[in-house]
Structure 1
Amino acid sequence: MEVVHIYHTNDLHSHFEHWSSIHHLLVQRREWHEQEGDEVFIFDIGDHMDRWHPYSDASRGKGNCRLLNEAGYDAVTIGNNEGITLSHKDLGEMYVERDFHVLAANLFDEEGKLPEWGKPYHIYRTKSGTRIAVIGLTVNFTHFYHLLQWRAVDPLIELENYLGKLNGEADVIVLLSHLGIHDDERIAEMFPQIDVIIGGHTHHILHEGKMVGHTLVCGAGKYGQYIGHITLGIDHNSKKAVTKEAILYDMNERPHPDDDKQAAMLYDTGKKMLDRPVAFLKVPLQTNPFENSELPSLLCRELKEWCSADAAFLNAGLLLGGLEGAVTEFDLLTVCPHPINPCTVVLGGAELKEVIMQAMDEKWDHMQIKGLGFRGTVMGKIVFAGISVQGREILIGGEPILPKAEYVIAIPDMFTFGRFFPEIYRSGRKTYFLPEFMRDLLRRTIERFEN
């Protein structure tokens, strides 16, 4: 029996609190297994990078690439944080110095060619001659990739295509899937020739994996809280995986003495890289998520103007603090760390009136929110620009809303993903602006306020 060890991480999201522990374990385990004559591979399943962290933001993911190199990763696939929070140029440059394979079978450039830094799969050959094919797939946020001059296509179509090409060319097939647990289970049912699916995106935790038919489905949660370890027993004669086992190691139970030190070092390194001046404010700009305050109002007006919209609204909780004095890139990241893009939606007058009435509800102020790119804690008060209320009349640009007229409304894109406002969620007329973040509009706000 040939023994193959696979270690995996996913959805770190630049939470480096356990990175020293992760690095130490991976380096140590590779040394142990190789001394025993076993094969060992290390894979990451995407969203290793998240631009809320100054080190990742300042380096545009190149710092994450260096960390993966140093820990000895063999291959990664990309997640949506690598794919759609970086510009086309920045994603193209993120992996220039990689020592590992970047596997993304369903991502192409605008001409339909694979990116220079990526490939659909790689076949590893063990010392015993076993051929292990590793394929990568990323979630196909087609529209957003298109806005960044990429083409993301149906992962199942590409998977079927490459499985056909690998027929007879591989003994064991491993899929790195940044698609989510539901797609992973569906793929296991559709393609039983896949031996192992290592997943991410939905942050699922499978402590001992899950057998779906003949396929072992795995997932290691998020934020580096777990490392996955898969052990395959390969029959020497048939070259088939006859045993499949999975376990997760809780990194909270395996602290390394340098965890805090390295996490602080990476944060401080990023902070220094972002110590670039943006503007000097002679007057402080304050923010309060529960009251009308100046900085959210200024940002909302900037959002309306930048998007050439009839009106705009955003949640004050989007800003995590005020700004004063010498403002740097780091300050902007600190108060607006979200990978949230500006967006417009076209609404009829009657729909818009309903949305505004919902937005004026005091329930938003203390609403707890997670996900959708939001990196704060509470939604906060809804702030308007171009919208006013006179008695029972709602005005847009000083004029009453006409029920059958159409209006272009600028919003943070998080309002289009969650079902906060059903009229916005259902609208088919949305325009997203990428790669700009709300933080980029905050920069314009500060620069204009200074002048």
Structure 2
Amino acid sequence: MKSWVCADAGLAIKRVFLDEPDASLARALWAEWQEQKLTVIAPTLWAYEVTSVVRKQVYRRQMAPDAEPATLTTVLRLPVQLMRPPDLHARASELAQRLNRPAAYDAHYLALAEMYECPFWTALIILHTNDIHGRVEGLARIATLVEQTRAENPGVPVLYFDAGDIEEPSRRLSNLTKGTAMHRLLNLAGCDAAVAGNGAWLRYGPQVLGDHGRAARYPLLLANLRMSDGVLPPGVQPTTTLEIASDPEQRAGPWRLGLIGMTADMPEYSAFFDLSAVPAASLVRELAAALRQDGADAVIVLSHMSLKTDRELAAELQNDVVAIIGAHSHDLLPEGERVGRVLIAQAGQYAEHLGRLDLAWDGERLEVVRATMIPVTQATPRSPRVLAEVDVIEAEAARFLDEIIGELAEPLDFALDRECGAANLMADMLRERMGGEIAVVAAGQAFTGPLPAGPLRRGTLWDVCSSTANPAIATLPGAQLSALLAKGLDPAFAAERPHTLRGQERGLLHLSGGTMRDGVLHVDGAPVDPARGYRVAGSDWEFEHYGGYADPDWGLQIEYEVPTIDKVTR
């Protein structure tokens, strides 16, 4: 058994600062070393680093000035043997050069551990979110918590990852910018990497990922989806490698963390965009091996694939990844979930929690010591930097929304329980745009309010029509069309508030190109022919299984104009 253990300054600080969230873990680790009669060693620069950390705490007003001398004395009296063996600096320089580090601070710890043939322990904190879905205020509060966590953990690297669906087409700022605004805000929240979910580009098309990637000052990851020519969508990369330094202000550290981004495979990808998915487990295994070959010491997956899929992946990747930070299924895992050696983490939804992983690196393996959740409450202050950027984006949007795009000769009323002018307008537009004989539109997914007479501005239309539906057309036999209409005109069905509509009632189905007489559909003045095929315009909401109008067994061949997404408001 080795009689030495090399520990960085971060673990020493955690042992002394009793009010730190994981100080007990650091004290337990030190107690274990003592029980094993291990001597804690560090290079002489350890004393300079801990002194600097204490000074920063005072300078940043996180410690009272009169507490500085006693705190520093306590840290410097820790049982740490400072070592300066011959050739330490030369070996540290060699390691820094071999590992392509711009500085050699942490390489001294690596060199010392190598010389004494002992483990090198350092700490790492990972914060994570998922499925924020356009909640701007929640993200502003998360930004505060990220900043606080970094300030409360001097000498310890704190990384923040988002596992996808930061965007949401039904939320104002995200909708107006096709999700790009959320990435601008995520920059200011201190994000280090994110995976592309499905919330935005499933509606706007994969080309919008290029806008997201340009806005993001962090790697936007997506490894498992391919365009028809076999390449990745624009704006994303499959993997990235982060340098982990004991001092967060350094640009490089003694070890590297590899990240892989994966997102859910959905049938709409091939139907809408001619995208295909690569099998997940074999791809992750291949990419993890490549990351390690390129210098990564450990690998974590950012997965927007659901808890069920993450469990399956973890079972197959026991020797390939340390953890899977998940999303898509909106699960809250307060203490994480272990599948063998792999920890699965997921932080719920809508910026209601910030996940935290405390990890330890012993020079050979990265281990998740603890997984916890930090509640995001109304009492959490909102980040001024995030709010200032919101104001900038709102000013940009205001100019766009003030443009006049048309004129209404008379006001259009809106109702969910009867025929209304606003939904009739949408039905007429879809029938003309898609070249249908008939058009069907559910009032609740198309509009949320009336339109006034006179000049029509983008902003006025957007306020009552933020629909994320895609224009579509399908051929339905008269019998199926009649069944779809019967369901859409059922008052009880129309009053439902499905989760997909975020609490809005479905509203009654509206027609263009046909009339209902005594419960029977008439087209061109004649009753519908049950056997004849009719070209029917609508949207994915009226035709796909999740809308609930069409029977999946019909096997409709739906043609989409994708991405359109309420082009009038764009």
Q: Aligned to 2:332, what secondary structure does the other structure show?
A: coil
Of the three residues 304, 308, 326, the one matched with 1:182 is: 308
The 5 A counterparts of 1:401-412 are 401-412=528-539
1:223 Cα deviation (Å)? 1.6
Q: Deviations over 1:286-310 (max 9, x none)?
A: 1111111111112112212212222
Matched residue, 2:28:
none
Higher strand share: 1
How many residues were matched structurally?
436
Q: Deviations over 1:33-67 (max 9, x none)?
A: 3x22x222111111112233343333333322222
Q: Aligned to 2:497, what secondary structure does the other structure show?
A: coil
Tell whether 2:224 aligns with 1:106: yes
Cα distance change on mapping 1:253 and 1:433 into 2, 3 Å: same
Tell whether 2:336 aligns with 1:216: no
Of the three residues 430, 434, 437, the one matched with 1:307 is: 434
TM-score w.r.t. structure 2 length?
0.70
Cα distance change on mapping 1:264 and 1:40 into 2, 3 Å: closer
1:420 Cα deviation (Å)? 1.5
- In structure 2, C-alpha distance between the alignment counterparts of 1:61 and 1:418, rounded to whole Å: 23
Tell whether 2:172 aligns with 1:46: no
Matched residue, 1:447:
none
Matched residue, 1:83:
201
Q: Aligned to 1:233, what secondary structure does the other structure show?
A: strand
Cα distance change on mapping 1:275 and 1:141 into 2, 3 Å: farther
Cα distance change on mapping 1:266 and 1:14 into 2, 3 Å: farther
Asked if the contact 1:342/1:411 (under 8 Å) is kept, the reply is yes
1:418 counterpart letter in structure 2: Y
- In structure 1, C-alpha distance between the alignment counterparts of 2:516 and 2:199, rounded to whole Å: 39
* Structure 1 residue ranges without an equivalent (≥5): 445-451
1:136 Cα deviation (Å)? 0.2
Asked if the contact 2:201/2:208 (under 8 Å) is kept, the reply is no
Of the three residues 136, 139, 148, the one matched with 2:264 is: 139
Matched residue, 2:85:
none
Of structures 1 and 2, the one scoring higher in RCO (CA 8 A, sep 6+) is 1
Of the three residues 339, 353, 365, the one matched with 2:468 is: 339
Higher helix share: 2
Of the three residues 59, 67, 79, the one matched with 2:177 is: 59
* Structure 2 residue ranges without an equivalent (≥5): 1-120, 246-252
1:421 Cα deviation (Å)? 2.9
Of the three residues 255, 271, 274, the one matched with 2:380 is: 255
Asked if the contact 1:76/1:103 (under 8 Å) is kept, the reply is yes
Asked if the contact 2:178/2:200 (under 8 Å) is kept, the reply is no
Of the three residues 273, 283, 305, the one matched with 2:410 is: 283
The 5 A counterparts of 1:247-396 are 247-252=372-377, 254-256=379-381, 265=391, 268-269=394-395, 270-318=397-445, 319-324=447-452, 325-371=454-500, 374-375=501-502, 377-391=504-518, 393-396=520-523
Cα distance change on mapping 1:90 and 1:317 into 2, 3 Å: same
Q: Deviations over 1:365-423 (max 9, x none)?
A: 3211112xx34511111112223233364323333322322222222212313261352
Asked if the contact 2:201/2:207 (under 8 Å) is kept, the reply is no
Tell whether 2:187 aligns with 1:69: yes
Asked if the contact 1:140/1:152 (under 8 Å) is kept, the reply is yes
Asked if the contact 1:18/1:251 (under 8 Å) is kept, the reply is yes
Asked if the contact 1:417/1:425 (under 8 Å) is kept, the reply is no
RMSD of equivalent CA atoms: 2.8
- In structure 2, C-alpha distance between the alignment counterparts of 1:85 and 1:335, rounded to whole Å: 19
- In structure 1, C-alpha distance between the alignment counterparts of 2:373 and 2:538, rounded to whole Å: 40
Asked if the contact 1:313/1:384 (under 8 Å) is kept, the reply is yes
Cα distance change on mapping 1:176 and 1:29 into 2, 3 Å: same
Q: For structure 1, which segment, 253-262 or 380-389, has the greater mean C-alpha deviation from structure 2 after superposition?
A: 253-262
Cα distance change on mapping 1:116 and 1:352 into 2, 3 Å: closer
1:425 Cα deviation (Å)? 6.1
- In structure 2, C-alpha distance between the alignment counterparts of 1:121 and 1:76, rounded to whole Å: 10
Asked if the contact 1:311/1:387 (under 8 Å) is kept, the reply is yes
- In structure 2, C-alpha distance between the alignment counterparts of 1:428 and 1:393, rounded to whole Å: 22
Tell whether 2:153 aligns with 1:28: no
Asked if the contact 2:185/2:390 (under 8 Å) is kept, the reply is no
